[in-house]
């Protein structure tokens, strides 16, 4: 595809349920990032992948959050036992490599609502 | 840690007015600075960037100059159009030799341009 895609675009779940969010980066991009944007706030960094490894997980808010990447392509962000404060738009971005000279291209996001 | 502070919106302007959105940052080292824009119903996209002190980024009539002495990266446009209505985010990256290029964002400024 031409850009970063994410699915689902919207997800409504009940408190306590697990959810999986998917990101398909631009083909050939080795770096992949997850961010989240809570209502009325800026974006918060969650995790960074270089290839299939995650050298920076410092933004994951708790051990309920995990992410993996396979085949240097698709990434999934999993939130276990969701809480209402997890409600946010989750954004994925990819770049050619993980240096500051490479623009990050963002997907349209997944809007997660935890009831 | 790194942080970005930008003026809160919404900012409401008339067409052809001058726009300034203030952005200041806190970081150790020499970060790269960015402005991202999110048009209604669209994903986040890079507007302009500057990678070293005194650099001026420019795109679509917008400009911002990297001022290390004042730790600022204010966004300006001399004559706005209705199509500039969007949310603007200031961001930084690469302040430390950490793996990857994770972005630290400000809270966003909503701009509404009226005809």
Contact B100, A51 (CB under 8 A): no
Closest in B99, B104, B108 to A56, CB measured: B99
Look-up of token digits 């997850």 = A34
Contact A31, A95 (CB under 8 A): yes
Give chain A positions within 8 Å (CB) of B103. Answer: 33, 35, 43, 45, 104
Q: What is the pLDDT of residues B62-94, one digit of tens each?
A: 999 999 999 999 999 999 999 999 999 999 987
- Residue A1 tokens, joined: 């595809």
Cβ distance B43 to A107 less than 8 Å, yes or no, reads: yes
Percent of chain B with pLDDT over 90: 77
- Greatest pairwise CA separation for chain A in angstroms: 41
Give the model's confidence band at B95: pLDDT under 50 very low, under 70 low, under 90 confident, else very high.
Answer: low
Question: How many Å apart are CA B97 and CA B88, to the nearest integer?
Answer: 27
Closest Cα in chain A, distance from residue B99 (Å): 6
pLDDT of residue B93: 87
Mean pLDDT, chain B, integer? 92
Q: What is the pLDDT of residues A71-107, one digit of tens each?
A: 889 999 999 999 999 999 999 999 987 766 678 899 9
Closest Cα in chain B, distance from residue A82 (Å): 24
Is it the case that residue B43 has pLDDT exceeding 70?
A: yes
- Residue B77 tokens, joined: 């446009």
pLDDT of residue A72: 83
Give chain A positions within 8 Å (CB) of B48. Answer: none
Q: What is the pLDDT of residues A22-72, one digit of tens each?
A: 999 999 999 999 999 998 788 999 999 999 998 889 999 999 999 999 988
Cβ distance B105 to A101 less than 8 Å, yes or no, reads: no
Q: How many CB pairs under 8 A join A and B?
A: 71
Other beta carbons less than 10 A from residue A68's beta carbon: 13
pLDDT of residue A39: 85
Closest Cα in chain A, distance from residue B107 (Å): 4
Question: How many Å apart are CA A47 and CA A60, to the nearest integer?
Answer: 6
Is it the case that residue A1 has pLDDT exceeding 60?
A: no
Cβ distance A42 to B32 less than 8 Å, yes or no, reads: no
Q: Report the C-alpha dihedral over residues B47, A10, A41, A105, rounded to 10 degrees.
A: -20
Question: How many Å apart are CA B101 and CA A103, to the nearest integer?
Answer: 9
Angle among Cα A58, B103, A89 to the nearest 5 degrees reads 80
Residue range A102-113: mean pLDDT, rounded: 92
Other beta carbons less than 10 A from residue A81's beta carbon: 11
pLDDT of residue A37: 93
Cβ distance A100 to B94 less than 8 Å, yes or no, reads: yes
Closest residue of chain A to B43, computed from CA coordinates:
A108
Q: Which helix (H) or strand (E) holds B76?
A: strand B75-77
Closest in B44, B101, B108 to A98, CB measured: B101
Percent of chain B with pLDDT over 70: 95
pLDDT of residue B89: 96
Other beta carbons less than 10 A from residue A17's beta carbon: 12
Question: How many Å apart are CA B49 and CA B46, to the nearest integer?
Answer: 8
pLDDT of residue A69: 96
Closest in A44, A55, A91 to B99, CB measured: A55
């Amino acid at each position: 595809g031409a850009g970063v895609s994410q699915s689902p675009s919207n997800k409504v779940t009940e408190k306590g349920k697990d959810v999986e969010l998917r990101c398909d980066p631009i083909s050939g991009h080795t770096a992949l990032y997850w961010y989240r944007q809570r209502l009325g706030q800026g974006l918060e960094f969650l995790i960074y992948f270089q290839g299939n490894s995650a050298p920076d997980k410092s933004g994951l808010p708790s051990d309920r959050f995990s992410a993996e990447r396979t085949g240097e392509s698709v990434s999934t962000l999993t939130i276990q036992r969701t809480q209402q404060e997890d409600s946010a738009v989750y954004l994925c971005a990819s770049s050619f490599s993980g240096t500051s000279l490479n623009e990050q291209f963002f997907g349209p996001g997944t809007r997660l609502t935890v009831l | 840690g790194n942080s970005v502070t930008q003026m809160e919106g919404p900012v409401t302007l008339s067409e052809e007015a001058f726009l300034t959105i203030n952005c200041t940052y806190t970081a150790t080292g020499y970060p790269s600075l960015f402005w991202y824009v999110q048009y209604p119903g669209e994903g986040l996209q890079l507007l302009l960037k500057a990678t070293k002190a005194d650099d001026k980024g420019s795109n679509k009539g917008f400009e911002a100059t990297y001022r290390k002495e004042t730790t600022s990266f204010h966004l300006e446009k001399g004559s706005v159009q209705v199509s500039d209505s969007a949310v603007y985010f200031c961001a930084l990256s690469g302040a430390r030799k950490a793996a990857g290029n994770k972005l630290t964002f400000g809270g966003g400024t909503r701009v509404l341009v009226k005809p």
